[in-house]
Each structure stands twice: as C-alpha cells, then as structure tokens.
Amino acid sequence: MTPAILSLTGVSKRFGSVQALDDAHLDLRAGEVHAVVGANGAGKSVLVKILCGVYPADSATLTLNGTVVSIGSAREAGLLGLAIIHQTPGTDPRLTVADYLMLGQEPTRRGLIDRQQLRRSAAERLAVIGAVLPTDAPLGSLGRGQHLLLEIARAVADHARVVVLDEPTASVSIDEAQTMLRVIDALRRSGIAVVVITHRLDEIWRLADRITVLRAGRVVRNGRVSETSVEQVTTDMLGHEVSRAVAAEPVVTGPVVLAGEALTDGSGFGPISLDLRAGEIVAVVGGGAATLAGLLTGVRRVRGGRLLRGGMPIRLRGLRDAVRHGIGVMPESREQQALAVRLAEEPPVVLTGMDAVRAAVEERLASVRQAVKTDIPVLRRAPWELREDIPALVEGNRQSVTLARWGELAPPVLVLVEPTRGVDVGARQRMHRELAELRRGGTAILLVSTDLEEVLGLSDRILVVRSGSVVAELSRADATPQNVTEHVAGRAGQSA
C-alpha cells in the first residue's frame, strides 16, 4: 500500500454547544481520490477546512510527509501545497481568466505586462488539467463549472500536492460534470492527492479509490471504495437503511396553470414557450434552464412574450409578485432570494401574500414548525432553535426548510432550481417524497436540475433547452440517460 503523504488524526472541533467533530481522522495518498461523505451536518466540510487552515481545530495532529506540521491559516496551507476548491468562487469578477491564473507571476516586456504572453501562459496552465477557457473572459461571465476548472488549474500551477473539491459536480451542466470527472482523473494520474466532498454517491464508484464516512462528527467508515457498496455507505451515513427511489406513479394531470408564450429576456434567450399542468412534474435541462425558471418567477424580467397564470396574463417584477400569484419558488441563489427570512418571526405563510393562507397563520404556524422538525433530522439532534437565522444553516438544511415551507402551503405552482444540491441521500429522499406528495395534491412543479438521476426519477416530462429554445420534449417512458445527454449536447440522432 502506498504510504500516506498526509495524516490528520485526533481532530475535535466544537462550535458553542455543538460538537462538530469528535476524534475524527483522515489520511491521504498521492495519486488517489479520497471521497468524504456524510449527512448534512456530519462534519465533513469542517474536517477539510481544518485540514486547509480555514478553521482552527480544538485538537488535532497533522503529519505531512512524516513531519508534524501546524497550519494557522489558508495561506500557510497553500504554502505547504494544500488547496481547497470551494462550492462558491470568491474571486474578483473584474479580473480576466488570464489575469487570475497569472496573478503575481505576470510576464513583462520592457517594464510592462506582456498581455500576449500572459494569455499564452494562462492557456498552458489550463491545458495541464485538460481544460479550455477563454483567457480574455472576465471572471464574472463564467459559469460555476468554469470557475471550478479555473481554480483547479491555479492550484496545480501553484504546485498543490493535495486538492480538496467541495461538491465539484453540483449545479454544473451534464457535460461540465463529465469534464470535471475527467479532470479529477487527470489529477490522480499526475500524482496529486484529491479529496472530494460529494452527496452524489453514484459518482464515488466512478472516481474515488477510498472513502471516509462521517456521522455526527465521528468517522464510521474508512476504507477502499471497492470493498463497500452504495447501500452500506448510505446506512453508515444515516445510521439506518433508506429507500433509494420514489416509485413512479400514473400521471393524472389537470388544466394548464402556468404558461409562457414566446418568452424572451432581451439578451438573446428565447423566444421560448411552455405550459405546466396541475399534477405534473416537468424537468428542464440544458443550457438556459435556470434562465427559463427565472423568467417564470420574476427573478429575470420578461422582455418579450407573455406569462399566463390560469389563462390570465400576469407581470412579475420580482419574487414577491410570483408568490402573490401562487407561484412557490426555490431559486438558485437561495441565500439572497429565498432564505433571508426567520422561520418563526416571519412565518412562511405570511410571505406568500395569499389571503386564504394569511387568515390561517396562527393556526398553522405550529404545524409548520412541527413539519420542519420532522423533516430535518439535524434540527432534531442539534441544539438549534427554529428562530435561528436560516442562512446560518448548512445548505442542505436550508433547502429542506424551504421545501418544508412550500410543502405546508401546497401552492398551485412550484418552481425549483437545483433543490437537492448539497443534500445528503436521506434528506434527498425525503424531499423527493415531499415533491411526489405535492404532485398528487395537484401542484404543478417545474424542476431545474443537473442531477440526471433525479430528473429521470421524478419527472413526467423533460424539456431540453439549448440556445434559448426547447429542442426536445421527452416523456417519462421515452427518457433515458443516453438520449437526454445526447439532446443536451446536441448529438441526438448521431449515435450508431
């Protein structure tokens, strides 16, 4: 067995009264991909942030190449060759790709930055990991998948020996997810130790060599991926078995409750048309899926065409208008748009603006609180109160709170963008059951997701968007992983 280049042992960390880690450990080997998994709140992000100097541990021993070292900051970790690639990039959006990759190492000519050489050098650094990005593009114009490739390329250029990836395939397109898996494999072949935090268990058996499972801050499994199974890992994470799928049900749809006619955003997207019927789940995949969701919910302004709610034209100037018209929303930017509320002080039912629900606020507030406690196990075991700021919760728990809110209200229309991003397998199944229940109750659901398993398992119809238009519509019976991927990539009909 290859010896560990890095060993982290005896890791404990407490935040107030919450014991986030309790005698946890992690060891990494060169040229291996190590998956770190666990339910929301299990401590996996805290563990790798301690590893990379973002958080100080209450107690821990870190050994690097046989030498005990101390890391007091992310900068010190970087100097030792440890790099963490976060879910949300924190770079200056005004910099170009080339500027960022060559920051502090800009080539000069006659005392001035040589822009041509700068771009060439940046392209070479991207090529090392097999990535291609426009080197003159400002960072603010890049998608999440492109940002991650950029950060990985910079880490490799800075001679990182350990690269930590936090949910690298969450909220990226299907093609970008495949590119990310190829990049991870390239890092492995180059001898870098790669740590992957993920909730997508199916990917682990495709990319990882070893796995560490955390539950309630303690390591409950540590070994080779080939010696375990999805079912075993799921049980380790949750402490009990969980069903893996929501059974398909016959589609019984009602009238059209939301329709878009020749919608455009004024920036090249559209015209695009669609309709949603009561009691169905329609998934939208491909480039522009989130833009379409934005047009249907007021996150993006409709510049052409019209929206109809129950056959009547409506105009949405923002999310508040959407919920006033009975459109529930879980937008992509949950921190800014959906979760800056206090669950108890400003109950979800008040936020809807629907008169029928407003009249029942006091009566239903207790049931909302109980539903949240029931649906989110971490809130049952952690000493948090329902009055705590929702943004303070980890992402998966924030999403469960938001869906619990809409599950209680059962709006006529519900638009979800990446609802299970960063959510563990147990919470994911609970959320899927909640969506199935809403569908049975007559809610029309529009689902934007890059999780192909989720799309195929939940949806009655799949709309494929490319270049601002719907290029394909697939029924549940006709949709397969292959043909959905081919339509998204524009390769439908090209297979032998």
Sign of CA dihedral 231, 233, 238, 244: negative
The Cα 389–Cα 70 span in angstroms is: 34
Whether residue 242 contacts residue 431, with contact meaning beta carbons closer than 8 Å, is answered with no
For residue 335, report the phi and psi dihedrals to the nearest 5 degrees.
-60, -40
pTM to 2 decimals? Answer: 0.67
103: pLDDT strictly greater than 90: no
- DSSP of 452-480: HHHHHHH-SEEEEEETTEEEEEEETTT--
Q: How confident is the model at residue 477 (pLDDT cuts 50, 70, 90)?
A: confident
Domain ranges of the chain: 6-238, 256-489
Indicate the CATH number of 256-489 among 3.60.21.10, 2.60.40.4070, 3.40.50.300, 3.40.50.170.
Answer: 3.40.50.300
Q: What is the DSSP letter of 246?
A: P
pLDDT tens figures, 424-437: 777 788 889 899 99
Is 179 strand, coil or helix?
helix
**Residues contacting 14, CB < 8 A, separation 6+:** 20, 58
pLDDT band at 355 (very low <50, low <70, confident <90, very high): very low
Q: State mean pLDDT over 304-333.
A: 88
Q: How many CB atoms lie within 10 A of CB 377?
A: 20
The residue that leads in pLDDT, 478 or 200, is 478
Question: Could you tell me which residues come within 8 angstroms of residue 295 by beta carbon, excluding any fewer than 6 positions away?
Answer: 260, 263, 265, 269, 270, 302, 307
82 φ, ψ to 5°?
Answer: -110, 125
Region 370-375: what's the mean pLDDT?
Answer: 50
pLDDT at 496 over 50: no
- Tell me the pLDDT tens digit for each residue of 329-341: 888 765 544 433 3
Q: How far is CA 48 from CA 24, 43, 213, 369, in A?
A: 11, 9, 13, 33
Q: In this model, does residue 345 exceed pLDDT 70? A: no
DSSP secondary structure, 38-63, as one string: ESTTSSHHHHHHHHTTSS--SEEEEE
**Range of weakest confidence among 35-49, 98-112, 170-184, 442-456:** 170-184
- What is the three-class DSSP state of 18? strand
> 307 in the Ramachandran plot: left (φ > 0), alpha (ψ -120 to 50) or beta?
beta
Distance, CA of 230 to CA of 242 (rounded, Å): 11
**Average pLDDT of the chain?**
81
From the list 40, 7, 3, the residue with the least C-alpha distance to 24 is 7
22 CB burial (10 A radius; 0-12, 13-18, 19+): middle
Most confident of 153-162, 164-173, 423-432: 153-162
135: confidence class by pLDDT, cuts 50, 70, 90:
very high
359, exposed or middle or buried, with CB in 10 Å at 0-12, 13-18, 19+?
exposed
The pLDDT assigned to 394 comes to 52
Q: How far apart are CA 42 and CA 365, in angstroms?
A: 29
For the stretch 221-273, pLDDT in tens is 999 999 998 888 888 887 776 554 555 566 678 999 999 999 998 888 889 99
Name the residue among 276, 394, 406, 396 with its Cα closest to residue 348.
406
Short-list 313, 303, 312, 298, CA closest to 271:
303
Instruction: Indicate if 256-489 has the same CATH topology as 6-238.
Output: yes
| Residue type at position 431 | M
Of the ranges 59-68, 91-100, 466-475, which is most confident?
59-68
pLDDT for the residue 198: 85
Q: Which residues lie closer than 8 Å to 104 by C-beta, 6 or more apart?
A: none
- Return the residue matching tokens 């800075």: 158
Least Cα distance to 261 among 45, 470, 42 occurs for 470
Rounded (10°) CA dihedral 484, 489, 491, 496 = -60
* Predicted pLDDT of residue 89: 55
Instruction: Please provide the DSSP assignment of 361-388 as one string.
Output: HHHHHHHHHHHHHHH-HHHHHSS--TTS
- Residue percentage of the chain with pLDDT more than 70: 81
Residue 266's φ and ψ, nearest 5 degrees, are 80, 0
Contact at 8 Å (CB) between 468 and 268? yes
Name the residue with tokens 């770079």.
91
Distance between CA atoms of 462 and 53, rounded to whole angstroms? 43
Question: Domain 6-238 adopts which CATH fold?
Answer: Rossmann fold (3.40.50)
- Please check the confidence at residue 381 and state whether its pLDDT lies above 60: no
Task: At 486, list the tokens.
Answer: 């081919």
Please report the pLDDT score of residue 397 as a whole number.
Answer: 63
What's the whole-number mean pLDDT along residues 204-216?
Answer: 91
